[in-house]
Amino acid sequence: MTDRNSKIAVVTGAGSGIGRAVAVELLRAGWSVVLAGRRAEPLAETAALVPGAATLAVPADVSRPQDVDALFTAAVERFGRVDLLFNNAGTFGPGGVPVEELPYDAWRHVVDTNLNGAFLCAQAAYRRMKEQDPQGGRIINNGSISAHAPRPHSVAYTATKHALTGLTKSLSLDGRPYGIAVGQIDIGNAATDMTTRMQTGALQANGEVTPEPVMDVADVARTVRHMAELPLEANVQFATVLATTMPYIGRG
């Protein structure tokens, strides 16, 4: 089913975790959603969670410019425009590796996915949003609590998330003349496969390993939907959503 009157979203990393939760939230709200991820099977599983909804699954590696171009070309060919990009695809990289032991290939993989991939997708979305009629749209970047404060032994992930904040600010400024609103959501411990280890014990700045609380990923999805459904005259520039008692504010 394709509803030409609905808003059109592209969600990267839509095969699992936060990306899947946001895609499902938008689909249930009546959006048409282009599901992007590296593997076709998880994307199909996401689409099946909302039977009859308007979806398009496009396997894509966001670190590859040709994949990103093909993704947005497919989105426009199917739905006619792009109203929202949720720039979500990302990776932690190897956990618990001190900076002096981190292989360059591991560093490069995290940078290519988290930063270069976010740039390529934002650039592709920006081009379509600038050209389409009516002009404009919204980009929401998935940052992290690590965009503000690092975890121990997370140099690649933390560096990319700090850089993503700069990308968000620059895109937000450059998008103003074209009705392109850009914001960022920083998330702390949404319950997904990627955060399972935090519930059993995460290394803290004082050297202790302590279990950390998590929150329902659906709460993140509802926040993204709120940001997405604002009129383009309004923008949530930065939002932080976190498990209430996680060790972030103050001394934990």
Question: How many other CB atoms are found less than 10 A from the CB of residue 73?
Answer: 13
pLDDT of residue 196: 65
Q: In this structure, is the dihedral angle defined by the CA atoms of residues 190, 115, 130 and 27, taken in order, positive or negative? A: negative
3-class DSSP state of 51: coil
Cα 106 from Cα 34, distance rounded (Å): 29
- HSE at residue 134, side-chain half, CA atoms within 13 A, is 8
Residue pair 76/47 in contact by the 8 Å Cβ criterion = no
Q: Which residues are known to be catalytic?
A: 157
pLDDT along the chain (252 residues), means of 10: 73 97 98 98 98 97 98 98 97 87 96 98 98 98 89 89 97 98 93 68 73 88 98 97 86 57
Q: Count up the domains in the chain and report the number.
A: 1
Instruction: Output phi, psi for 137, to 5 deg.
Output: 165, -170
249 domain residue, yes or no: no
pLDDT of residue 251: 59
95 domain residue, yes or no: yes
pLDDT in tens, 63-72: 999 999 999 9
77 domain residue, yes or no: yes
56 domain residue, yes or no: yes
Here the CATH number for the domain that contains residue 173 is: 3.40.50.720
CA distances from 209 to 151, 172, 246 (A): 12, 38, 13
Tokens of 76: 């426009």
Nearest to 1 by CA among 48, 58, 53: 53
Give the domain range for residue 201.
8-242
Q: What does the DSSP 8-state code read for residue 92?
A: -
3-class DSSP state of 56: strand
Strand partners, 34: 10, 56
117 domain residue, yes or no: yes
pLDDT of residue 5: 62
22 domain residue, yes or no: yes
Nearest to 115 by CA among 131, 91, 135: 91
Tokens of 210: 């302590």
Residue pair 54/33 in contact by the 8 Å Cβ criterion = yes
Which residues neighbour 206 within 8 Å (Cβ) at sequence distance 6 or greater? Answer: none
Cα 221 from Cα 94, distance rounded (Å): 26
Could you list the beta-strand ranges (E) of the chain.
8-12, 32-37, 55-59, 84-87, 137-142, 180-188, 202-203, 209-210, 238-242
3-class DSSP state of 55: strand
Of the chain, the end-to-end C-alpha distance in Å amounts to 48
Q: What does the DSSP 8-state code read for residue 114?
A: I
pTM, two decimals, is 0.91
